[in-house]
Amino acid sequence: MITAHSYAAPRVVMVLGDSLSAGYGLARGEGWVDLLQTRLNERNTNVRVVNASISGDTTDGALTRLPAALQTHRPNIVIVELGANDGLRGQPIAKMHGNLIAIANQCRRAGAKVLMVGMQLPPNYGPAYTEQFARTYPTVSEHLKLQLVPFFFAGIADNRSYFQADQLHPNAKAQPILLENVWAELQPLLTNPN
């Protein structure tokens, strides 16, 4: 069957993330990014997902490699899932905040819409740091008027059965839930191409 977009170039969704999106500890095809591509294929959307995530990456690292990624993949939408490693390493929140703004602005200048994925840290990093960290995502999103996934781990954070042995990385059972958390905010960007 020939559809309106049969001969159109696919739109590109690029995931710029860390191990939580790179599929750390998972079998090939189990990660939420792979599940996203499967869902888009099933819906015949003509959207290609590029996983530009690297385990261990920080907002600093992602900002450095972003220009090449934007030039290579020319995404229409960039899902920014970063910051967990900044937090786990106790990096200054102001630095992370500035990097996230710079990443979003670079994506926009390249013509891509941005979906920011919010994260939280375990409480053992102290209330002041963890509160500042969690607040960074809505602050950046409000400032730049970005679509926001409020908390990537919503629905799994308090259930250890959703995590691998390290208790940091979600397991295969958790991946469909992570996909739903992202999908709720990604869908409006996919359905409204402007």
Q: List the catalytic residues.
A: 19, 166, 169
Distance CA 127, CA 144 (A): 26
Question: How large is the angle between the packed helices 93-109 and 59-73, nearest 10 degrees?
Answer: 10
d(CA 129, CA 41): 40
**Rg (the chain; Cα; Å):** 16
Yes or no: say if 50 and 14 are a contact pair by the CB < 8 Å rule: yes
Angle at which helices 93-109 and 127-144 cross, to 10°: 20
Q: Do 115 and 81 meet the contact criterion of CB atoms below 8 Å apart?
A: no
Closest CA to 23 of 189, 164, 180, 184: 164
Rounded alpha-carbon distances, angstroms, from residue 156 to 28, 45, 89, 170, 175: 21, 28, 23, 8, 10
